[in-house]
Amino acid sequence: MSFDDRLHALDRAQQKQPRISFVAAVIKKFSDDQASQLGALIAYYGFFSLFPLLLVFVTILGFVLQGNPSAQESVLHSTLSQFPIIGNQLQENVHSLKGSGIALVIGLLGSLLAGLGITGATQNAFNQVWYVPHKHRPNFITSRVRGVVLLALLGVLAIVSTAAAGFVTAGGGSSFLAVLGPVLLAFAVNLLLFFAAFRFLTAAHIPTRDLLPGVVLAAFMWQILQHVGGYYVDHVVRHAEETSGLFAFVLGLLTWLYLGAQVTLLAAEVNVVRARRLWPRSFFGNPLLEADKRALTSSAEVEERIEEENVEVDFEA
């Protein structure tokens, strides 16, 4: 038996196992949508938006906690530690929280510009994942308005959740609440964040029941990435020399953002495959299975061609 025959036999075997074929179908669709490249673009904008967002965060806390040095010290260390990779670096270089109007304006402008890049890239990715035709996607102005609204919503939720987790950590000592409280709070808010993103960044109307599996998966995977980021800082960045530590910090932050974007799109693919029953799939396309045909008829390119040219697609060709 040749190598190609073995691959085809393996493909036929996975099609007969429901759970394995579902995972394989998610991987297949992730590859077909070029989601890896879409996630890389989201991570690119995320890298440039993270720093002005943190500037806004620290400035707002400076206004809120002005005149309370003990609270500033507690929140500074406990809250910033909630940010993987970059949190410990901020703790070592920021000695107090100070509210500055200039810093707030600069941070807001930087966050808005970079944040709109994130929401635009994510909207494009989610619409691609859900097969939304280009002519049915929001126009330039509508997509920016949606992006601003979502940025405000996600920003408020992120600030509140991170500050609350910081207060719990700062005041709980070694109690059970101090250990479990921040984790549960972060997970709950991650659920809200991902639900808002999945709901408002997709042009198509998706029933809530079709969004929840991916939301839970994305929140869970994001929580793991947060802990992995903390482990990376403790075991790599802190023990590296000054020069190599800088490279480790930048590469670690980029990797963390990239993986976060990838797991988010992977969770979205799970929703699409489950909602439209796009499994089992054939990796070789010959012969096409029913799920392969549904995937093709759902694609934006085929839908647009059928609507605009009124042609029939021959799936057996």
DSSP 152-198: HHHHHHHHHHHHHHHHHHHHHTTSHHHHHHHHHHHHHHHHHHHHHHH
Q: Distance between CA atoms of 4 and 285, rounded to whole angstroms?
A: 14
Can you point out the beta strands (E) in the chain?
Answer: none
Question: Are 253 and 86 in contact, with CB atoms under 8 Å apart?
Answer: yes
Residue type, 202: T
Q: Distance between CA atoms of 223 and 184, rounded to whole angstroms?
A: 10
Give residue 208's pLDDT. 93
Give residue 303's pLDDT. 53
Give residue 236's pLDDT. 65
Residues in the chain: 317
Residues of the chain with pLDDT under 50: 93-95, 169, 300, 302, 305-306, 309-317
Q: Enter the pTM of the model.
A: 0.78
